[in-house]
Structure 1
Amino acid sequence: MENLLPHPPHSKKRPQSESSIHDLPDEILSHILSFLPTKHAFKTILLSKKWIPICHSRSALHIDDIIVNSAENKIHLVRFVDAFMFSPHSQHLPLKSFSINCRSQQWDAKTDRFTFDKWIEAAKLRRVLRIYLYLLDVPLSPTIFCFKTLVSLTLVKIQPDTLFDSSVDLPSLKSLCLNDVRFHHIDHFMKLLSGCPVLERLSTMFVKVNDRATAKGYFKPLSKLIIAGIVLFEVPFKAVYNVQHLNVSGLGHDLISKETNSFYKDFPVFENLTVLNLCWSNNTQIHDWDELVKMLQNCPKLQSLYIIKAKSAPTKEDWKYPYHVPQCLLSHLITCNIRDYEAIEADFRFATYILQNARYLQMLD
């Protein structure tokens, strides 16, 4: 009968030997929440008021507007980001990562520009280290290019403001990735690169310039660069002369302007280059192995060479062995890989040229 009696009120309390996640230090709770998506982490506020400052102390904010399909959804998202970025609980806490994917058609280039600008300014005050922005053709204020603490910057679908008169100051930036970014003048893009004195990694793809033909040739080479992935006629070779690992796509064609063509294609001596990946454009009219041999002459320490030919372009049939052998073949080249190799005379001659002169070659594929 004794077991059937209701427990006394005090027996409902948790035994002293038991513990709850609420009892953990705030630092550990914050670390646990860092593994959750932002929206799920903030749902913990429903558990207890204790979680409010912990959520706002997160060192990363990753927002995706995948559910924004109406003006009402957009308002809710903006209010949420505002609450996080301007909360008294978080305004003075450092922010390691700030990522926003805005691909919805609900965003307006004119009315929402101020919203993005104020978020970036708030991230700047919180000494953010890494920023990823995907803004569907929304003009971006040049303030993004003046960041003392920023270490990594990725911009996708961005149009920097036409008024690019402000200074570019990215003294700590080590990684820059630009994908489908439009500049109004080549000098604006060169100014951006020149403002990254310690840049180590550079990646460009579909970088568009409205006024490319008037390139003046002024830029400050990236002397600290280690890895670069570029498309021909987006970044001049001379700007990335110091790299150890270089990927170049879009080879095989020229611009109408000889001056502009020379500005981009003038191939410097790559003293530190050890890995070279070359991809020819599908718009290539004819594949000429001479172009590659000329490049190799300026890569004295090259160890690995990877080539992707253009499938749609015929290979120049009367290609002949060069008179000179690049230094890299004689003393450094270990690996050579050729994709879309064809059983034709010119390709066979080039492969033979590599085999006969690359004294340290270990693999030709």
Structure 2
Amino acid sequence: MEDRISNLPDPILCHILSFLPTEEAIATSVLCKRWKPLWRSVPTLEFFCHSRFITTELFLQSVNVVILSRDQNQPIHKFQLTYNFCDSVDPVNFELWVNTTVKRSLQHLHLYLRFHSCLTRPANLSSIFSCTTLVVLKLYQINLELEFKTLPKLLRTDIQISEHTYFLLKVVNNAKVLYLEIDDDIDEVTDPYFSSMFHNLTNVELVYRYHINDWSQIVKLLQHCPMLQDLVIKQPECCVLDSVQGGEVGDWKFPPSVPECVLLHLKSCYLDDYRGTPDEFRFARYIMQNGRFLKRMTICSYVEFQKVLENGKETYQKDRFNCLKILFTINLDDKQQQ
């Protein structure tokens, strides 16, 4: 049987291999002589480190060998690293990998650390902000020593912020899409993280690790995003009824002014794991009353749990009356046309 795939040009084969993790792309080199050098020119590097399968030293050595063995004349469009070890390591290897890839027309950079404490010191990754080709930047559990330079072509930024990963968002203030995961040790999101205007931002997704107690923080954030069109707010999925009842008393009041984006640009708002507290209700009402061009409001309820006694021990069970996750969407187009 004729091997038609092997007869394809190198650029097409490398593009096919770019959809595989780097380890699997390298494994194709044993197929035949035609495939042996191809992995060195694949424009994507994806490394997934799991302590169940490999030691820290072996993983660091493997990534170094792969990066140094590549065809130095070929670009690297995407570099993704997922590091799940608990061991503390010097970030010198991470600095070397990033400094090398950003010089190769890098477009997508994804760095995921499972534990912020796995690095013995903050990584010096200032070379990221000299990368004029970067389009997507995703950083999780990364504590950066920053240089205040903007990335001219940046379109999307995914950031996790906590007290351990201090990241000033002003360095990515020209992004159009922002995914922000907010840890439960952060009380103030807008200051110092939002210290400048985001004039290009049209899509924001806020994922909270805790339940929002101060919705005025969201309004302050919106004031920094004058062109925002799509807003998504997610809270933790599962709540205990006791904690919900303890947070029923709300004191959030409508602010005296309405952010520009809500008045002139906001088209959709999505509230996930809505609990129906007074403050949540007021915020949803605030958006619907002031969003002149709002077309869709989506509210999704959460799954409730009750505390019960079982064999003398306290356990949590789903409330049989509220165990279904209810999703409803209000389309406002018809109302505006009337």
TM-score scaled by length of structure 2: 0.66
Instruction: Provide the secondary structure at the position in 1 that maps to 2:36.
Output: helix
Distance 2:189 2:23 in 1: 46
Deviation at 1:64, TM superposition (A): 0.6
User: What residue in structure 2 maps to residue 253 of structure 1?
Assistant: 214
Distance 1:214 1:24, change over 3 A: closer
Bigger Cα displacement from structure 2, 126-135 vs 169-178:
169-178
Partners of 1:91 and 1:121 in 2: CA distance: 14
Residue 252 of structure 1 and its aligned partner are, at CA, apart by 3.3
Q: Which residue of 2 aligns with 1:92?
A: 73
Distance of 2:178 and 2:141 partners within structure 1: 17
Give matches, 1:151-230, under 5 Å: 151-160=135-144, 164=145, 166-180=147-161, 182=163, 189-190=167-168, 193-206=169-182, 215=191, 219-230=195-206
> Which sections of structure 1, spanning at least 5 residues, go unmatched?
1-13, 235-248, 255-260, 342-354
**Any conservation in 2 of the 1:200–1:227 contact (CA below 8 Å)?**
yes
**Per-residue CA distance 1:46-93 (angstroms, 9 max, x = gap):** 23444333111001111111255553xx33332332222112x42221
Pairwise CA RMSD: 4.6
Identify which of 244, 249, 255 aligns with 1:286: 249
Determine the C-alpha separation between the residues in 1 that align with 2:333 and 2:150: 46
Which has the higher Rg, Structure 1 or Structure 2?
1
Match status 1:311 vs 2:275: yes
Higher relative CO (Cα under 8 Å, sequence separation at least 6) belongs to: 2
Structure 2 partner of 1:38: 22
Secondary structure of the residue aligned to 2:28 is helix
Moved more, 166-175 or 206-215: 206-215
Q: Tell me how far apart the structure 2 counterparts of residues 125 and 315 of structure 1 sit (CA, whole Å).
A: 48
SS at match of 1:52: coil
The answer for unaligned runs of 5 or more in structure 2 is 237-243, 303-329
Q: Distance in 2 between matches of 1:328 and 1:212?
A: 25
The reply on whether 1:27 has 2:11 as its aligned counterpart is: yes
Match of 1:117 among 95, 98, 103: 95
> Once the 2 structures are TM-superposed, how far is the Cα of residue 131 of structure 1 from its aligned partner?
0.9
Taking the aligned partners of 2:280 and 2:177, their CA distance within structure 1 comes to 35
Counterparts in 2 of 1:169 and 1:335: CA distance versus 1, 3 Å:
closer
Would you say the 8 A contact 2:199–2:227 is kept in 1? no
Cα 1:300/1:102, change in 2 over 3 Å? same
Residue by residue over 1:158-181, the C-alpha shift from the partner in whole angstroms, topping out at 9 and shown as x without a partner, is 222xxx364434222211101255
Shift in CA distance, 339/277, structure 1 to aligned 2, threshold 3 Å: same
Distance 1:269 1:76 in 2: 45
Alignment correspondent of 2:223: 268
Q: What is the identity, as a one-letter code, of the residue corresponding to 2:93?
A: T
Paired with 1:339 and 1:212, the residues of 2 have a C-alpha distance of: 25
Supply the distance in 1 between the matched residues of 2:255 and 2:23 (Cα, whole angstroms).
51
* Partner residue, 2:106: 128
Structure-1-length-normalised TM-score = 0.62
Counterpart residue identity of residue 76, structure 1: L
Q: Note if contact 2:229-2:261 (Cα within 8 Å) is conserved in structure 1.
A: no
The C-alpha deviation readout for 1:191-245, integer Å capped at 9, x for no partner, is xx3233531111111258889699579833111111112368x9xxxxxxxxxxx
Q: How does 1:139-158 map to 2 (within 5 A)?
A: 139-143=122-126, 145-146=128-129, 147-158=131-142
Match 2:57 to one of 63, 71, 75: 75
Determine if contact 1:252/1:280 at 8 Å carries over to the other structure: no
Q: Secondary structure at the match of 1:168?
A: coil
